[in-house]
Structure 1
Amino acid sequence: MAVLISASRPLLALARVAGFLVAFLVLTWALAFKTSFIPHHSQTHEDLIYSVMHPLLMVIGFILISGEAILVHRWLPGSRNLKKLIHLCLQGVALTCGVFGIWTKFQGRDGIVANFYSLHSWMGLICIFMFATQWLMGFLSFWHRGEVRTLKVRILPWHIFLGLYTYGLAVATAETGLLEKLTFLQTRRNVLKHSAESMIVNSLGLGLALLSGLVILAAVLPKYNHYNVLQSKLTGSETKKSSSYLKERKY
């Protein structure tokens, strides 16, 4: 347990490195291979901008910022309320980026239905809906933190679980999007399987998988203070049991 607790800081550092790597890869892909984002049967500059903005908003704006919001409780010093406020603000920024990221797919000439037919698109809509619900719950909980305290304590584990599940779902949705896009490029636009673009997209997928694992592990890792309290309680209970047992033996 002590080894896990001492590994918290290296995990945060690794998560930041993985985040910078993911940001670098998605920026390189979007800027160096812009022609791959030109929609089918469209050559307009506006459609190109919308297509490029979608992966940037969803990966950097939605996944990376929401991951940083999850890690706020691990590295930010200060009171619990301050941490909750920063967490809420970062999640609000991530939600805004996610909504605008989906909004860009509504701007194509092919229409709304043409952009929401695949597993990737369905998962994306579900993920944004769940994320918005989670953020609204956190917002109401922050501004009414003195009310129904017992109820808040009961729903907190579910809030944490759904938050981490939604984050994992967002990463899984991005992975399906990368697979969908790369399959389209290789089959319709003759992008070679061993080309530089294919390597960048595959590396981006691996980077997202690594990042999600580090963020979730850092989030669920026991805190030192909580571990000390738990250990003291367990030690105290064991001491009481031992003393009562000795008294029984004595009499």
Structure 2
Amino acid sequence: MVRILFPPFSVLFFARFSACIVAVLVLIWALHFKTSFISHNPSQEGLIYSVLHPLLMVIGFILISGEAILVHRWLPGSRNLKKLVHLCLQGVALACGVFGIWTKFHGQDGIVANFYSLHSWMGLICVAMFGAQWLFGFMSFWHRGEVRTTRLKVLPWHVFLGLYTYGLAVVTAETGLLEKLTFLQTKGNVLKRCPESAIVNGLGLCLALLSSVVILAAVSPKHQISKSKIVFSDSNYSSR
């Protein structure tokens, strides 16, 4: 008999629920408190790029890549269909991540001036690893001449690196939130106890919750119906 402690539908529900909260919080922060994203050289173009960065990296990169991980848990159909949808969603997430970094480095200060913090270093490494993972998946999906045993050996590493990169993306976002909030509070632009601080801190907590649920859904065993074999005997029914 197979027993599952966490039914797949409940894990998927909590994953989608936490993802919706993350999306709402980052939209409120980026659009309602957009004055916090104005640089020392304010311009309409610079403000748009600054606001697009958290939207693309959180909603476009983290949320979509998380949904791509969950594809194998909820999408019906053949395995090739699931792999194709997974590959397409990861491609959209990669495009959002690359464009999100480009918006950050598109300011008047240039690339070098923005490449100084742990957040920026981790972001570049994360997107580079994500791109390598996507390229491997693309080649593996369209070029199927590899020996099956070789593909089976590589698959666990692909899954591990995929989950590691996803977790690294969440940690990178957390460092970005901490860096931004600390900078605003140090400059006196944001108080330690105010709605914006609460939203940023809540966003960080929800991102941590989301990553834990997505990884749990990815590593938990697939739902199986428990079966028992009924054997007829002259005296009674026995289950074994």
Q: Same fold by TM-score, threshold 0.5 exceeded?
A: yes
Assess if the C-alpha contact under 8 Å between 1:51 and 1:105 holds in 2.
yes
Residue identity (%): 74
Specify the alignment match of 1:112 in structure 2. Answer: 111
Map 1:61-100 to 2 at 5 A. 61-100=60-99
Whether contact under 8 Å (1:171, 1:209) holds in the other structure is yes
Matches within 5 A, 1:162-241: 162-225=161-224
Cα separation, 1, equivalents of 2:196 and 2:81: 42
The Cα shift of 1:2 comes to 1.4
Deviation at 1:128? Answer: 0.4
Distance 1:10 1:45 in 2: 43
Query: Aligned partners of 1:43 and 1:49: how far apart in 2?
Result: 10
1:90-131 CA-to-partner distances (Å, cap 9, x unmatched) read 000000000000000121111111111000000000000000
Contact 2:94 2:131 (C-alpha < 8 Å) held by counterparts: yes
Q: Which residue of 2 aligns with 1:247?
A: none
- Equivalent in the alignment of 1:139: 138
Per-residue deviation at 1:84?
Answer: 0.1
Tell me the secondary structure at the aligned position of residue 224 of structure 1.
Answer: coil
Cα distance in 1 for residues equivalent to 2:11 and 2:34: 34
Tell me the CA shift for residue 224 of structure 1.
Answer: 3.0
Aligned to 1:238: none
Amino acid corresponding to residue 128 of structure 2 in structure 1:
F
Structure 1 segments of 4 or more deviating over 4 A?
Answer: none
8 Å CA contact 2:12, 2:217 repeated in 1: yes
Amino acid at match of 1:49: I
Q: Secondary structure at the match of 1:91?
A: helix
Separation of aligned partners in 2, 1:145 and 1:79? 16
Structure 2 CA distance, aligned partners of 1:166 and 1:61? 15
Cα RMSD over matched residues?
A: 1.8
Q: What SS does the corresponding residue of 2:76 show, helix, strand or coil?
A: coil
Aligned partners of 1:47 and 1:108 also within 8 Å: yes
Amino acid across the alignment from 1:3:
I
Q: Which amino acid aligns with 2:122?
A: M
* Larger helix share, 1 or 2: 1
TM-score, with structure 2 as normaliser: 0.91
Residue deviations 1:19-60 (CA, integer Å, cap 9, x gap): 000000000000100100011x21110000000000000000
* SS state at 1:51 partner: helix
Equivalent residue, structure 2, for 1:23: 23
Matched residue type, 1:26:
V
Contact 1:120–1:173 (8 Å) recurs in 2: yes
Q: What residue in structure 2 maps to residue 8 of structure 1? A: 8
Give yes or no for contact 1:4–1:221 (8 Å, CA) kept in 2.
no
SS at match of 2:4: helix
- Cα offset for 1:146? 4.1
Q: How far 1:228 moved relative to its partner?
A: 7.3
Aligned to 1:33: 33
Aligned length: 228
TM-score under structure 1 normalisation?
0.87
Alpha-carbon contact 2:49-2:106 (below 8 Å) kept:
yes
How far apart, in 1, do the equivalents of 2:30 and 2:119 lie?
Answer: 19
